[in-house]
Amino acid sequence: MSAFHPPQEDFALYVMGALERQDCERLEQHVRTCAACAELLASEARVEVKLHAIIANIPRPDEKDTSHRLDVPPPGVLEPVVFSSSRRTLWAPALVLLAASVALVFGLGRVITPPSGHLSDALPYTPQEFSIPLFSEEASLPASPLEPQTMMCARQVKHEQCALSDGDEASACDEHSDEMSDGDPQFTPVSATCVAPR
């Protein structure tokens, strides 16, 4: 052990990474052989770790933009969802599909059964192409052309096991079919994809 101990300030500078290189080496050399200074270094290191943790958690009153803490881009950086087509061409199929869905639910649902058993097969577009822009008025558009079908499965909670994904499975839920058919034995449930989350 060397006769002189490094000044206490050097320990703080060392853990801060601010000590000059030759002083660093001298301090390290000393700490290897001096238990008291090794303990002092450990103590400074604990303070340093705590300070880093605390500073990271202190809310800054003058800081309006905290997005860097949350790892989200600041307002305005978010890109809106890009339309795959112009607004007019987006609205047209949406309205047609809305009308078709309403008709399907209230009238044609009792008569027509698509052979494929999947409603989306009969649609002129795939649901993925129908994008709703975020943060705009148009978010109030019909959320999805498949939305009306959720009405057909209004008793989701009760019919947890009721699968409406195809015609065969739909018939597995007798209770559901009875409710929809009002007791009509000729009723064939409309095959549809149940979009409600399970």
163 and 169 in contact (C-beta within 8 Å)?
A: yes
The reply to whether 148 sits near another protein by the rule CB under 8 A is: no
The reply to whether 57 sits near another protein by the rule CB under 8 A is: yes
- For another protein, the closer CB: 26 or 118: 26
- For another protein, the closer CB: 54 or 111: 54
The reply to whether 64 sits near another protein by the rule CB under 8 A is: no
**Stretch of 1-9, 85-93, 114-122, 135-143 contacting another protein, by CB under 8 A:** 1-9
The reply to whether 17 sits near another protein by the rule CB under 8 A is: yes
* Residue 45 to residue 161: CA distance in whole angstroms: 58
* Residue 94 to residue 143: CA distance in whole angstroms: 10
* Residue 188 to residue 182: CA distance in whole angstroms: 11
The reply to whether 7 sits near another protein by the rule CB under 8 A is: yes
* Residue 36 to residue 1: CA distance in whole angstroms: 11
The reply to whether 77 sits near another protein by the rule CB under 8 A is: no
DSSP string, 119-157: GGGGSSS-GGG--PPTTSGGGGS-S-TTHHHHHHTTTTT
- For another protein, the closer CB: 45 or 102: 45
> H helices of 20-173, where?
21-33, 35-57, 67-70, 87-106, 147-152, 167-170
CB of 25 to another protein, least distance (A): 12
The reply to whether 9 sits near another protein by the rule CB under 8 A is: yes
- For another protein, the closer CB: 1 or 122: 1
**Stretch of 34-42, 105-113, 152-160, 179-187 contacting another protein, by CB under 8 A:** 34-42
149 and 193 in contact (C-beta within 8 Å)?
A: yes
- Kindly list the residues in this chain that would bind another protein in the complex (CB under 8 A): 3-10, 12-13, 15-23, 28, 31-32, 36, 38, 41-42, 45-52, 54-58, 60
